[in-house]
Structures are given as C-alpha cells and as structure tokens.
Amino acid sequence: MLFNSLDFAIFFPIVIIIYWIVSKKIVLRNSFLLIASYVFYAWWDWRFLFLIIFSSFIDYIVGLKLNQTENKSNRKKLLFLSLFVNLGLLFFFKYTNFFIESFIESFSLFGKTLNINTLNIIFPVGISFYTFQTLSYTIDIYRNQLKPTKDWLAFFAFVSFFPQLVAGPIERASHLLPQFYKTYNFNYKLVKSGILLVAFGLFKKMVIADRAAVYVNEVYNNVEDYGGVGFTYATILFAFQIYCDFSGYSDIAIGLARTMGFDLMKNFNSPYISKSLTEFWRRWHISLSTWFRDYVYIPLGGSKKGKIRTYINLFIVFVISGLWHGAAMTFIIWGAIHGLVLMVEKGTFKIKQPIFNKLGLNTKNTSNHLFFGFIIFFIVCIAWVFFRANTLNDSFYIINGIFTDFNFGDVFNKETYLIGLKTNEFKVIILSILLLFAGELLHLKYNLIELLNKQGLIFRWSFYISIVIVIVLFGVYGDENIQEFIYFQF
C-alpha cells in the first residue's frame, strides 16, 4: 500500500479514528496497531507476513534468553542465532541471484560458460529496514545497553509499525519501543503538525520526485539516445528525485506517527547544503548512517586503531552500505566512491584547513560555503550515476557522455530539457525545487511549523489550502503514472 495511493487515503482515516477511540487501553491499542500494520504490509503480498512474524518471534525469544544468561558462550550463540536468521533471510531474498550471476561471470573471464539458472525470487518489500531494526534490538541487549521487553505485543507492534515499516526511519528499540507502553492524549497541535509533515512529504514526492522521474527514467532507460547535456540534466534531476522521494517518505512516516502521538527520529537534514561529504552523511539517511556507525564501523575498530585501519574501516562500511542498497556492482561502486572520498577527507582535513585559510577559503564564509557545497554536490551526483544506472556499462557510458560529449549549444535547447515533459511541467519542477531550497534554508534558523503557528489565522489557512491545491494540481496521478517510493526496492 503506497502512501500516495487511493487505498491509503481510505485506509489511514479509518485507522486514525479507531486508534484514538481505543487509545486509552494499551493492549487494545497495540493489538489494533499490529493488525493495521499487518494489513498495510500484506497489501503487497500476504505471504511475506510470515517472514516479519518469524523474524519478530526469533528476536523476541533471543532477547529474553540473552537476559536470562550471563554465560558468554551462550550469549554469543544466541546473538549468532539472531544474526543468522535475520541476515540469512535478507541474503537469500536479496543477494542469491547476485552471487549466482557473479559466480557465472567470474568463470566467463577464463573463457568458460556455466549453465546455472538464477532463481525466481520475489523480493519482500521493507526487509532491509525491519531486519536492521530487529537486529539493533538483540545487539543492544547482547551489549547490555538495553533490557528486553516481556510484552510480546508491544514488540511485534514496534517491529511492524506501519508508518516506517517499509522504508524507515530505522528506529532503535531504546527510542521507539518504550512509546508502545504509554497512553497518549489527543493533542490538536501535534496532530496538525503531523498532517502538515505528511503534506510536505506528499509535495516532495508527488510534485517534485514523480515529475522528475519522467525525465530521469526516459534518459537512463535509453542511454544510447541521449548525449552529455541530457545525461547531466537527468543526473541532477535524479539527485533531487531521490532526495524528495526518500525524504518525502520519511516526512510522511514521521507525520503519520505524530498524529498518533509517536515520535520517530529525523532522517534527513538538508543534505545538499553540506560543505563536505562527512557532513553530507550526517544529514542524509541519518538512521542508516548511524546504524552502520554503531553496529559496523565501531565494532571494526572505528578510529581507535590507527589511521590506516580507520581508512579501511570507512571503506568497508560504505561498500557494505552500497551492497545493502542493492545486489549489483553499480551499488557497490556507489558505496566505494563515497568511501574513497571520505578516506581522502579524513586523511587530508588537518592538512587542507591551514592551506584553505591561507587562501582565504574559510568554510564559514557564505561564498566559500557555496563553493565547497558545489564540489560536494558534484561528487554526490557522479556517484548517483552508478546508483541509478540500470547496468555498469550504462554507468560508464553516461559518465563518459557527461565529460566528453557535453554540447553547450544544447543547454537551452527545449528538445534537451523537455525530454518527456511539457514546458509547464518543467517549470513546476524548477520552481518547486527553488521553493524546497528556500524552505530548507529557512528551516536552518527556524522551526517552520512553529513559525507557521505564530502567524494569523487567515495566513495559516491560506498556506494549508495552497499546499493542497498545489499537490492536487501539480502532483502525478493515475495507475500508469504513479511511482513507488525508490527505497521500496531496497
């Protein structure tokens, strides 16, 4: 069930009404949330419900057993069970075909052909997200950083909580699970701010991301028909498409949870204003980057085992991050690019700062911030080529086109910047992106929702109505046009 679908437009009002009717009775409320979440998830394929139920059951039992023993050997065995089940399911559904194909290709390098068929495996939506969420629960208990819950109903509801089930934020049990033990009073301001966040998310998704997808899909799916300018426009638009698509999902998830009294972590914080790639990853997909930091980077040794080991750890984390995103070499290279640039940043930061200061390039200066921001955005966009391209050959073809086949005469050619779009649709995208940037720059100094609440009644309601009108008039609709959220495939 998609947040931007008619099904969900019917589903959620029913859920929120019943939720607030039963909200004072915790067991009844959590039971209802669990059922609603399972219905939401089963809307794609009811068979995959068994996976999330099985994963929840294993980690609930493992958590209890970890708390009952102090024997190190037994605790390691229990942790291994959780890792084996969760990662085993993830690897089977997500990576089996990738490793079979890689195995076949490795033999082809020696002139041998293996007749091995890949498996017809359907990928369960959201498995990468809820797997990491449940793993963090058992790992934290193993580390004695968290006490397990004896309330199986609250735990199952925590794992399957429908607003963030299929694409995050990836919540820690220490933050979200205790919220299932509380009762909430209906708070008009909180509900209103939640609905506003949902509206912002739908604006990002339906007005910017889905409209940009028309251009991006046409170019990236037919690379031989286009040149350097088309590739450049498509890549820049994809940068905003994926940001608005994913941050839009996170806004909707956080907003939906807020209407029920729940607080989800912030997942994006204006990443494209970053002046370094390190800062970019503090602002982009925060729940995943902090997960890899706490459960992969630090266990590998972090930055405490010397410079060389620190660089290797960084690189490993981002290659794994690339593989987490998708079972293809394109994603691994995407992660490797980020890892390599971060290694360079970390290795040269102390050297380059005095040089930059001597040249008058202080990153606190606005003009220099723009300069560094442009460099980082350029690097991120080059990496996005690998992330979006259908094949590795397409990636290299596109990058080669950007650098060697860029015809400046085509920059303002309508046939180049209106690929798949009408003039008004292109104007909507550009204006919407500018409005988005203006809002994010304003949000650096002010909480926009609180700022809006301070305005007069007429201004507030004019703003609310304007958002609805913009989404209705300029959003992408129709079964043939509707775009799934990009991160559903991960």
Q: Could you tell me the two tokens for 405?
A: 């086949």
Q: Are 300 and 313 in contact (CB under 8 A)?
A: yes
* 3-state SS, one letter per residue, for 234-297: HHHHHHHHHHHHHHHHHHHHHHHHHHCCCCCCCCCCCHHHCCCHHHHHHHCCHHHHHHHHHHHH
Residues 305 and 339: their CA atoms lie apart, in Å, by 18
Among 325, 338, 369, 443, which one carries the catalytic annotation? 325
Q: Where are the alpha helices (DSSP H) in 183-225?
A: 188-202, 210-220
Instruction: Please list, in sequence order, all residues whose beta carbon lies within 8 angstroms of the beta carbon of residue 7, skipping any fewer than 6 positions away.
Output: 1, 43
Residues 164 and 127: their CA atoms lie apart, in Å, by 12
**3-class DSSP assignment, residue 326:** coil
Q: Cβ of 127: how many Cβ atoms within 10 Å? A: 21
Torsion, Cα 218 222 226 231, to 10 degrees, reads: 60
Q: Which residue has the tokens 């200066």?
A: 365
Residues 53 and 125: their CA atoms lie apart, in Å, by 14
**3-class DSSP assignment, residue 24:** coil
- Our answer to whether residue 325 is catalytic in this structure is yes
Q: Could you tell me the two tokens for 15?
A: 């859920």
| Residues labelled as active-site residues | 325
